[in-house]
Amino acid sequence: MIDWLTDPLAQRIVLRGIAELTLLGVVSGALGCWVVLAGRSYSAESLAHAMLPGLVVASLLGFSLLLGGALGLLAGALGIALVGRLPRLDGDVAVSVVITSLFGLGVLLGLAPEVPAGLSDLLFGDVLGVTDADLVLTAALAVAMTAVLALVHHSLLAVGFDRLSAPALGRSPAAFDVLLALLLALATLVAVQALGNLLVVAMLIGPAASARLLCRRIVPMMALATAIAAGASVAGLYLSYHAELAAGASVTLALVAAFVLASLIRAVVRASGTAVPVRS
């Protein structure tokens, strides 16, 4: 039993993966809760899918995946803005049309013979291949994200829980939406290197969605989301090591298991007659 627990920790790549995912857990705990409460989970998935053409082009031309992902996000934002101006189409339709088109374009580009081996890493990530530079970048993101959200916490509370009354308190819902979109784009850009285009949403949304079911207040909800992300990351990497499964997919499976467990706990709490609302 001791060997089962210690063997993965003797592998440097596993320790790096745990460190990277724990840092991403800090980001998802702080930011993911606001994304879930604001109903922006679909936006998070859309951002991740919009990146794929840029990631593939970056892989083809040999430049930074961060730059490629940023270009993909820019193309997605411009496309949504243009399609959204067409008559008789609302915002959700514009997002769906543009994002599915970009994702399909990314898949087609990925089938080109010139694409180097390892395209699957763009889709599913390579959490066991993170470098010291990746860890430093993710740590910087976690610190910056936490600092920004702490500074604007009261404004986020005012807008997030009562958009109609927020302007009377000097808080702008439009500014809230822009800030949330920018932070979400930045977090997705950084996290995609470890978790890939398809699995990044699981880390950004999954822990927050689980914590949302169990917490009454926003700060404990963030703390619980961070703990769930860290715990699922460790459990997923242990599963990957001992069952010889893909690391990113194993972590995602652990996050899904955490959500199922939270749902069951929520059901038991509701059956007992105790509500679990979220408060500021």
Asked whether 17 and 80 are in contact (CB, 8 A), the reply is no
Whole-Å CA distances, 95 to 23, 31, 233: 30, 22, 31
pLDDT of 255 = 92
What number of CA atoms fall less than 13 Å from residue 270's CA on the CB side? 9
Element (H, E) at 159: helix 153-161
DSSP assignments along 69-92, one per residue:
HHHHHHHHHHHHHHHTTSTT--HH
pLDDT of 195 = 76
pLDDT of 8 = 79
What number of CA atoms fall less than 13 Å from residue 105's CA on the CB side? 17
Q: Where are the domains of the chain?
A: 2-271
Instruction: Compute CA 148 distance to the chain's CA centroid, rounded to the nearest angstrom.
Output: 17
The CA distance from 74 to 221, in Å, is: 31
pLDDT in tens, 185-230: 888 877 777 777 667 888 888 999 999 999 888 889 999 999 999 9
Asked whether 21 and 44 are in contact (CB, 8 A), the reply is no
pTM, to two decimals: 0.79
Element (H, E) at 104: helix 91-110
The CA distance from 37 to 21, in Å, is: 23
> Residue 157: exposed, middle, or buried by beta-carbon count in 10 A (0-12, 13-18, 19+)?
middle
CATH topology of domain 2-271: ABC transporter involved in vitamin B12 uptake, BtuC (1.10.3470)
Backbone angles phi, psi at 152, to 5 degrees: -105, 15
**CA torsion, points 71, 73, 79, 82, in degrees to nearest 10?**
-100
The CA distance from 189 to 207, in Å, is: 18
Return averaged pLDDT per consecutive 10 residues of the chain, 280 residues in all. 78 87 87 84 75 81 77 77 66 74 80 63 74 85 87 81 73 78 80 74 89 89 92 91 85 92 90 61
For residue 93, give every residue at least 6 positions away whose Cβ sits within 8 Å of its Cβ, in sequence order, or none: 83
pLDDT in tens, 165-175: 777 777 777 77
**CA torsion, points 194, 197, 201, 203, in degrees to nearest 10?**
-10
The CA distance from 102 to 182, in Å, is: 20
